[in-house]
Amino acid sequence: MRPHDTAWAPRRSGAARTLPRVSRRPVHSRTAGVLLLLSPVVWGATFPATKVALEDLSPWTFMGWSRGLGAVAAVALLLVWRPPREAWTWALVPAGLLLGALLTVGYALQTVGIEETTATNAGFITTLYVVFAPLGAALIARRAPGRVAVACVALSLSGLALLSARGTGMQEGDLLVLGGAIGFAGHIVAVDLLVARLDPLALGAAQVVGAALIQAALAVPDGAQPEAAAELWHILLLCGALGSGVGFFIQVVGQSAMSPARASVLLASEALFAALAAAVWLDERLSAREWAGVATMMAAIVLSEAHAWRSARVRVDAATAA
């Protein structure tokens, strides 16, 4: 239940958003594919898990526990995949806090929204950050967004209307989750700006720790709710240690050995795994109209990713020819 790196980012040649290899031992492409598929499986399961946890925990306490456990897991995994010593600079402090704040915005709107909507809807709507991220990149670059980016946003909003519209309005929970997706899109744009100057693994750990500190502070008014948290330890481990901590590192290792196009397809399956987990765990089902909305939204995501990948290939071919 978190944003993944996509292929649209503007500066990289070749694997535009692919992170550099983080292990001295090469990862076979097939093995990397299996590893990378584990992340959306875990992230998809966190949507119904969050829905269950919010029956006993406040959204803020749940986020505090989840991000805290994620930070512990991320720091522990740094003992396995160690960035070089020179990667640890003071610039990681403001960068981690900035990215942590953007993640907090995304997670807060998403988590509060899940209370008011289904886990299935939340999973599909969250994935729309893939469509909104190019608009954020264009805004930062002070240029007009491309026609494909605008068309993808229009297509995704049409699909959202089919999925969420009830009578004359939209479900409040779905709109909150949509706001979370926009927050995650802003996070992706910020990562793209920072990762050119900072080590990806160190930056990843810094953002998880930054998010944990901010969300722990937000949870103070509601308290730790230790009894409820103890009863939900398995859900907190899933959403925190696995989803926020281990999931990130699996993603980095997996993406280091494959093209961004293939990685994006695997990671975008998060929404499908969310729907499957919600069907099994919560017995959620979609109507024919809602499935039509899902299909429209997924078409917008595929179109956005395909256009980004083709644009990246054109830039690489032009650079090679030069």
pLDDT digits (tens, 9 = 90+) for 125-140: 998 888 888 888 888 8
**pTM attached to this predicted model:** 0.83
Q: Is residue 183 part of a domain?
A: yes
Q: Is residue 15 part of a domain?
A: no
- pLDDT, average across residues 296-304: 87
Q: Is residue 25 part of a domain?
A: no
- pLDDT, average across residues 205-233: 94
Q: Is residue 2 part of a domain?
A: no
CA-to-CA distance for 317 and 112, rounded, in angstroms?
A: 45
Q: CB count, 10 Å around CB of 12?
A: 18
3-class secondary structure, 8: coil
Confidence of residue 115 (pLDDT cuts 50, 70, 90): very high
CA-to-CA distance for 75 and 93, rounded, in angstroms?
A: 15
Torsions phi, psi of 182, nearest 5? -65, -40
> Given this model, what pLDDT does residue 63 score?
96
- Look at residue 5 and tell me whether its pLDDT is greater than 80: no
- Look at residue 262 and tell me whether its pLDDT is greater than 70: no
Q: Is residue 276 part of a domain?
A: yes
Q: Is residue 28 part of a domain?
A: no
Confidence of residue 288 (pLDDT cuts 50, 70, 90): very high
Structure-model confidence comparison of residues 110 and 322, the more confident one: 110
Torsions phi, psi of 169, nearest 5? -140, 180
> What is the span of the domain harbouring residue 77?
37-321
Q: Is residue 71 part of a domain?
A: yes
Reading the block at residue 308, the tokens are 């980004």
Q: CB count, 10 Å around CB of 62?
A: 28
Domain count, the chain: 1
The answer to whether 35 and 254 have CB atoms below 8 angstroms apart is yes
Give me the helix-helix angle, 59-77 and 92-114, nearest 10°: 140
Sign of the four-CA dihedral 134, 135, 141, 145: positive
Reading the block at residue 196, the tokens are 């050119």
Q: Is residue 16 part of a domain?
A: no
- Look at residue 71 and tell me whether its pLDDT is greater than 50: yes
> Given this model, what pLDDT does residue 79 score?
84
Structure-model confidence comparison of residues 316 and 58, the more confident one: 58
